[in-house]
Amino acid sequence: MTRENHLMKVSAQEAHEATNTLEKLRCLILTKGYDSVLQFGKLLRRHEREDKHAVTKEELSDIIKEYGVEFSEHEVDELFSTFDKEDVGIINCEEFLIKLRPEMSDERKHVVEEAFNKLDGSEDGVISLEEIKSRYDSSRHPKVLSKEATEQDIIMHFVTNFEGGVHPDGKVTKEEFMDYYSGVSKSIGDDEYFTTVVKNHWIL
């Protein structure tokens, strides 16, 4: 069983045992794999109100349904109320996504930010898919070493995680980069190993 498949299986079990609606939604999203938080985040940002970067409860409910996870209206009500503490009828999308991401240790966040900053030569908070293709080192990927896949296969799969899903734009923001690696991080228990994986891929 791959790490990703293990993540999906464990997340399904944890969803049944979740003690609050945010934790349950996080687990249900992770049952779709490494890039699930990234893809859910893209979907949420596509629906957000541009003037406020926010969504209503009804919009959040529609987004969860569109993403394809089972979540009751009662659970949406409970989840929404935890973020809409002042009862204004909207919640901030970035605040919501920050809480939704699986938590990473400071050490893990640091190495992911280091990788993103290396790619973001213009320091504008956005990197292109072409930059990712040209700098992602897949030669030490386990599937390449075992000859299950070629380096090009791995690169294209990685890029597709960012380009796929809803309305691809050819650009990756820091938030999207963090969303992706939060899913990867959830599947790796050891900080040192996670750090090694990221450093090897981006030659840090």
User: Which CATH number applies to 106-202: 3.30.470.30, 3.30.465.10, 3.30.930.10, 1.10.238.10?
Assistant: 1.10.238.10
Task: For residue 175, give both structure tokens.
Answer: 């938030």
User: What letter represents residue 113's amino acid?
Assistant: E
Of all residues in the chain, what percent carry a pLDDT higher than 90? 67
Whether residue 93 is predicted with pLDDT greater than 70 in this model: the reply is yes
148-190 confidence digits (pLDDT tens): 889 888 888 888 888 765 556 778 999 999 999 999 999 999 9
CB neighbourhood size of 26 (10 A): 24
Q: Which CATH superfamily hosts domain 3-100?
A: EF-hand (1.10.238.10)
Taking alpha carbons only, the member of 191, 198, 174, 29 closest to residue 101 is 29
Average pLDDT, rounded, for the chain: 91
Q: What is the pLDDT of residues 94-135, one digit of tens each?
A: 999 999 999 999 999 999 999 999 999 888 999 988 888 888
As annotated, the residues of the chain forming the CATH 1.10.238.10 domain(s) are 3-100, 106-202
For residue 23, the model assigns a pLDDT of 97
Segment (H or E) for 172: strand 171-173
Q: How far apart are CA 55 and CA 137, in angstroms?
A: 38
